[in-house]
Amino acid sequence: MGERFAGRYELVDPIARGGAGAVWRAWDHRRQRYIAAKVLRQTDATALLRFVREQALRIDHPHVLAPASWAADDDKVLFTMDLMRGGSLAHVIGDYGPLPSHFVGTLLDQLLAGLAAVHAEGVVHRDIKPANILLQATGTGRPHLRLSDFGLALRKGEPRLTETDYFLGTPGFVAPEQRLGAEPDFPADLYGVGLVALYLLVGEKPDAEALTTEFAHGTPGAPPGVPAPLWEVVAGLIQPDPQARFRTATGARKALLAAVELLPGADPDEDPVEIFDQLGALPRGCTPSGPQPTPAPPAPSGPQPTPDPPAPSGPQPTPDPPAPSGPQPTPDPPTPSGPQPTPVPPPSATHASASQAAARQGTPAERSAARDAGRPQGPPAKITAPVLLLALICFAVGFWALTQT
């Protein structure tokens, strides 16, 4: 149905696009299930190196969506991961705006748990934002998120692919020290978690530069609608000074769990947040059990007319006309051009047989006459005499001419 990589991964339909490539829903023919495949075109060496770094990550955690395998075909490479149907946190905020504090507490706890597993591998994510935090389609049940997109991730101590004066990340979610060119470190990721938490609580993207100005004069008060216990945790994540910030994801998670215990109970009249299936129906030709082969057209029933053979190319010989049926008159032979000699008729069979019979009977004189009668007759005497005379004259003239030389 679609393009296949390494004889195993069949692309079905695109579900997201980014600067480095596109994410497709794909069918894994070996594992017999749908997966997500991130396809990257080999545009330059830097992009390819980032791809190699990303696909090399193997972090097994329920709240981390790391690459599982990879394949290459011509000028494109891909790696695969589990398929997340619930979209991202950006979709949830777009659907509901500010989220209930207990719901936000559950999401932050899962995010910090996944980030702690990433940091335990010595990896700095460097791009924490709502669009990179994906959800399962759990409906109104307990949400389940996974941290994804390690395209900018870097192990501590590895060489950077950018110059010191430049930074990578999404504007609005980058820590202040990263904007100044500092080396990537774990507290920079925690700053991104704090901005995501504030985004979930207020329903609007925070202004990172304005927050830096506000924190210059001490920790500001909680924004409207944000419970104080949660704000203390969030404020500890978004401190502009990395030394005043939480140092580890595990420490921040412990503080969060303590803050959630202080929150008032959930409002029973509050509408639950539902995580919808954002992928929609499978495209035509695909079923939950995988892409279906295109069926062959049914064979027509009954006798079918034999198609005319294709006309041969080039000049063709003219076919002979069909032979007419029945006896045909013998065509006259062609008349030769110029004067023709008069044919001498052959002696008749009756005349020859009579001459032969006479030659066998009678007297010797009669038998001689009969034989003469059977022979052909010479020219008449009135023709022979002039011809002989002319021949004698020619002979005499020729003899005279010879004697004169």
Catalytic residues: 127
Distance CA 332, CA 358 (A): 41
Q: Report the C-alpha dihedral over residues 137, 143, 148, 154, rounded to 10 degrees.
A: -170
In what helix (H) or strand (E) does residue 23 lie, and over which residues does it extend?
strand 22-28
Q: Pick from 84, 12, 77: which is nearest to 38 by CA?
A: 77
Helix, strand counts (H, E) of the chain:
11, 12
Tokens of 169: 């990340």
- Which residue in the block uniquely carries the two structure tokens 């507490």? 105
The long-range contacts involving 396-405, CB below 8 angstroms and separated by at least 24 positions, are none
How is residue 276 annotated by DSSP? -
| DSSP bridge pairs for 11 | 26
CA separation (Å) from 46 to 16, 155, 264, 324, 350? 22, 16, 50, 85, 120
DSSP states along 86-155 = S-BHHHHHHHHSSPPHHHHHHHHHHHHHHHHHHHHTTEE-----GGGEEE---BTS---EEE---TT-EE
Q: Pick from 80, 81, 73: which is nearest to 4 by CA?
A: 73
